[in-house]
Amino acid sequence: MITLGIESTAHTLGVGIVKDGEVLANSKSMYSPEKGGIHPTEASEHHYGNAVNTLKNALSKAGIQKEDIDSVAYSQGPGIPQCLQIAGVVGRSLSQALDIPLVGVNHCISHIEIGKSETGAQDPVTLYVAGGNSQVIASSEGRYRVFGETIDIAIGNALDKIARKMGIPHPGGPEIEKMAEKGSKLIDLPYVVKGMDFSYSGMVTKVVRMLNKHSKEDLCYSFQEHAFAMLVEATERAMAHLGKKEVLITGGVAANKRLNQMMKEMAEARGGKAYKAPLKYCMDNGAMIAYTGQKMLEHGVETSLDNSTTNPNWRTEQVDIPWL
Ligand code: AMP
Ligand code: MG
């Protein structure tokens, strides 16, 4: 079966093509704001403007014609409402025009599924850390359940906010990582873990207030040390509670070396193993949507036109996963 998948939850318009579980194409076009963070209307205009080109690009990379596609998957949520519309409209239109099955995929779950398939992790606790999401997720009783998450802003968003105040363009995470490597003084910041949940807005405010008092390098270093320790603590608690030995890190912030090092140390100290999804699948992409959509269709899950509206607040634990 050949499945085409469309991603457009935030800054990336992605089109992936998967044949029998193998990725044939993973094309994308990324919106990057000239100033500030993601502007929803600008991002969605970017996606509309690039949908057809990206689609053609993916078809040519895969060496197929649109008539060869057997099914269509699209990211149905969660995400920025205006952005989600594009994958929804393109996916539903293709399904009707070509008269092939349609399946709406949960974006967060697709990060987990492609991460598992690429790393060989069997039943990990997943830390999904991105611009708009920060969740500790694990399978339990047929669904991916959220065991811990941010109670305010996502870690990627926190990094981007601090970067913006430092005059670094969006997305700021990679530059913060570079500056943190040069920092050495650990400045005390609010470390907020409540049960399995965590919070970043207080820490961002404190860093911003101290911009004139300390070097940017020391502030970035201190932010990373505190913020990542909170993520590792919540992940470790989930592992202990569930008796799981594997961790999978995915989402844009998974690119960070320090976060991976801390997670690896924790997992190995517990006799377990930390896996990082390949970078191209940590970033938003169409291949993960096609891959997960195909798996859902193979397990009898299909989305009718009546139920195909996009859902900006669609939560991970609301989806039945037949293979868990
Ligand atoms: P996503 O939402 O999955 O596309 O991920 C984007 C987020 O990842 C943005 O908030 C980036 O700042 C962040 N990010 C990308 N690379 C790094 C890095 N090396 N360290 C920390 N954060 C990063
Ligand atoms: Mg994502």
User: How far apart, in whole angstroms, are the C-alpha atoms of residue 193 and residue 191?
Assistant: 7
How far is the centre of ligand 1, averaged over its atoms, from the C-alpha of 281 (Å)? 12
Q: Nearest residue CA, atom 5 of ligand 1?
A: 252
Taking alpha carbons only, the member of 152, 89, 37 closest to residue 11 is 37
Atom of ligand 1 nearest to the CA of 163: 12
Structure tokens at 288: 């993960």
Place of tokens 């269709």: 297
How far is the centre of ligand 1, averaged over its atoms, from the C-alpha of 213 (Å)? 26
User: How far apart, in whole angstroms, are the C-alpha atoms of residue 224 and residue 241?
Assistant: 26
Q: How many CB atoms lie within 10 A of CB 156?
A: 22
Atom of ligand 1 nearest to the CA of 12: 4
Which helix (H) or strand (E) element contains residue 155?
Answer: helix 155-165
User: How far apart, in whole angstroms, are the C-alpha atoms of residue 257 and residue 7?
Assistant: 26
Question: β-strand 246-250 against 125-129: which pairing, if any?
Answer: parallel
CATH number among 3.30.1280.10, 3.30.200.20, 3.30.420.40, 1.10.540.10, domain 2-110+282-318: 3.30.420.40
Do 127 and 248 touch, CB atoms closer than 8 A?
yes
Structure tokens at 262: 């801390």
Per-residue pLDDT of the chain (324 residues; tens, 9 = 90+): 999 999 999 999 999 999 999 999 999 999 998 888 899 999 999 999 999 999 999 999 999 999 999 999 999 999 999 999 999 999 999 999 999 999 999 999 999 999 999 999 999 999 999 999 999 999 999 999 999 999 999 999 999 999 999 999 889 999 999 999 999 999 999 999 999 999 999 999 999 999 999 999 999 999 999 999 999 999 999 999 999 999 999 999 999 999 999 999 999 999 999 999 999 999 999 999 999 999 999 999 999 999 999 999 999 999 999 999
How far is the centre of ligand 1, averaged over its atoms, from the C-alpha of 220 (Å)? 14
Domain with CATH 3.30.420.40 in the chain: 2-110+282-318, 122-279
Q: How many CB atoms lie within 10 A of CB 285?
A: 24
Structure tokens at 136: 């500790």
Ligand 1 proximal residues by C-beta, below 6 Å: 10, 130-132, 156, 159-160, 171-174, 177, 251-253, 255-256, 283-284
CATH of domain 122-279: 3.30.420.40
Which helix (H) or strand (E) element contains residue 47?
Answer: helix 40-62
Bridge partners of 19, per DSSP, are: 2, 22
**Which of 9, 107, 181, 253 to mutate for ligand 1's pocket (most ligand atoms within 8 Å of CB)?**
253
